[in-house]
Chain A
Amino acid sequence: MDRLLELEGLFWDASLQTLYIVFTTLVLGGMGGLLLGLLLHTTRPGGIAPQRLVHVALNVLVNFFRPIPFIVFIAAAQPAARLVVGTGIGNKSLIFALSIAATFGISRIVEQNLVSVDPGVLEASRAMGAGRLRTTLTVLLPEALGPLVLGYTFALVAIVDMAAVAGVVGGGGLGAFALTYGYRQYEPVVTWAAVLMIIAFVQLAQFAGNRLARRIMRR
């Protein structure tokens, strides 16, 4: 307990870093995943803009990246991170790898939620003279919004989980904090403080996501 009080400054700093890492990833990976998921959905046979080759190619790509365990992926992505964000270590490199992994993961979540939209509604939009882009933005996405919010909430929790391995590339946050000051220094109290903080984040995110989704779906 005393040790935790000594580390208080670091603890709060790690908490903020986790928030920063997770939300930056959610925004970047969320946009990437949305785009990729939309492409997967619209290009599939019978979709809004069927493109067999594109669809197959994207499918293979997603299926290639998704099964890679994040702890392996983050190491493998280091050279690419150096190229893109200029460094292979630290939070930048971590967020880079996280965003890519999240893009692939979220794309499937998006695709699955879009499939649940009744194709008849899309056909109605088309029958009214709406083009593909308009139908996608003003019918497809709004119709799937409630489930999408739940899907993103799920993704957020998964990102918190993935972000905990930050230590591999020298990134920060609660995961690295628990590993460095709790686990390695035999301070279970410190470890548990980090765990509780993560649980609090997750609970809060899930609560907010559920509420938002319910509001959207009940309107």
Chain B
Amino acid sequence: MTDPAAGARPGAGSEPLIRLRDVVRAFPARGGGEVRALDGVDLDVASGEILGVVGYSGAGKSTLLRLVNALDRPTSGTVTVAGREVSALSERELRTVRRDIGMIFQQFNLFSSRTVWGNVAYPLQVAGVPKAEHRRRISDLLHFVGLADKAHAHPEQLSGGQKQRVGIARALATDPQILLADEPTSALDPQTTSEVLALLRRVNEELGITIVLITHEMDVVRSLAHRVAVMEAGRVVEQGDTYDLFSRPGHPATRRFVDTLVEKGPPARALDRLRERHPGRMVTLSFREQDASPADVFAVFVERGVQFELVHGGVEDVRGRTFGHLTFTVTGADEAVADAVARVATLVEVTEHATRDDAGGNA
């Protein structure tokens, strides 16, 4: 069931697999007017990549996802999948397109009237796959998701993680190019969440399937997504490489999300305590792989003859690449300190924390 050709590296520079252009989706609002669930969205998803879509409740994430397999249609704008404008196809034409797009859900949405086997068989029946091929195909899929022994169980006999794995097997039955995942782990505990995420990673890496993954958990994004799109009030306010977004979030919304995982500098309360113990200027230096290393920065401090002490911070890992926000106090002659900090600011991003004296003035 593996198609090696489809497993190309993400963002191979060719035509995007999914392309949204100036997409608006308005719903009639209660009491007249309209709500723009999507308000001018441009988005490209490259073949073979995992795109994480994050945003608060009501940001329009689900609405966006449902446009990709045309469960819903845009009010204006175009949605193109593999070169076909799905927003312009009839419901009948869409049936074949949808076989190429699997979908999994937060609440799993398994058929309770069918066994695990029956659930996975359903899309094959819909697609008209000859009965003779079902057995092998379903068995392969259940082995892939690790549920071969549950083939004859009914969904209500399974745990949440197992249900989602059945959902994944069912979504993969017709060998799709794309998998749409709407908060697939939001109903799961942390342990099962990581199992399901590991499975999704295999879906991407071993089967070469492009994944669009909606979530509001940054943990999920960090461990899985190649790229991230951040949504707020119906717009994509920032998108980019996951590492870049985590190590240097641009938009305030992105920063709020990243802050839930990695804080840039000590939190306010810790800052007060640190100040009581440490005199001098306090700065947080943000290190990224492409910038200077801590060793380079230390060299600057030593060269200018100032003392420095690491008081807070840690190193973060995004899919094997590291970055960190390290907070230092720097003491010494005022001029030397100012000079050193200015020099360091040319190497890495520097965030100054107001000293105790001028803290009041800055508030």
Range of interface residues on A (Cβ < 8 Å): 10 to 19
Over the window 109-139 of chain B, the binary record of Cβ atoms lying under 8 Å from chain A Cβ atoms (1 yes, 0 no) is 1111110000000110111000000000000
- Determine how close the nearest CB of chain A comes to the CB of B203; give it in whole angstroms: 17
Residues of chain A within 8 A (CB-CB) of B127 are 129
A121, CB-defined interface residue at 8 Å: yes
Contact A120 B109 (CB under 8 A): yes
A60, CB-defined interface residue at 8 Å: no
Measured in the bound complex, the distance between the Cα atoms of B111 and A145 in whole Å is: 12
Write the chain B residue with the least CB distance to A120: B109
Measured in the bound complex, the distance between the Cα atoms of B163 and A120 in whole Å is: 14
Contact of B95 among A124, A131, A219 (CB under 8 A): A131
Measured in the bound complex, the distance between the Cα atoms of B107 and A131 in whole Å is: 22
By secondary structure, the A interface counts as helix
Write the chain A residue with the least CB distance to B99: A129
Measured in the bound complex, the distance between the Cα atoms of B114 and A139 in whole Å is: 9
- A-B contacts at CB below 8 angstroms, number: 66
Interface residues of A in 106-134 (CB under 8 A from B): 118, 120-121, 123-131, 134
Interface residues of B in 36-61 (CB under 8 A from A): none
Measured in the bound complex, the distance between the Cα atoms of B69 and A143 in whole Å is: 24
Contact A143 B111 (CB under 8 A): yes
B154, CB-defined interface residue at 8 Å: yes
- Determine how close the nearest CB of chain A comes to the CB of B152; give it in whole angstroms: 11
Contact B123 A128 (CB under 8 A): yes
Measured in the bound complex, the distance between the Cα atoms of B104 and A120 in whole Å is: 11
Residues of chain A within 8 A (CB-CB) of B122 are 125, 128, 130, 138
B216, CB-defined interface residue at 8 Å: no
Q: Which of B99, B101, B123, B154 has the most CB of A within 10 A?
A: B123
Residues of chain B within 8 A (CB-CB) of A170 are none
Interface on A for B, CB 8 Å cutoff? 118, 120-121, 123-131, 134, 138-139, 142-143, 145, 219
Those 5 A-B pairs whose CB atoms lie nearest each other, nearest first: A142-B113, A129-B98, A124-B109, A129-B95, A120-B109
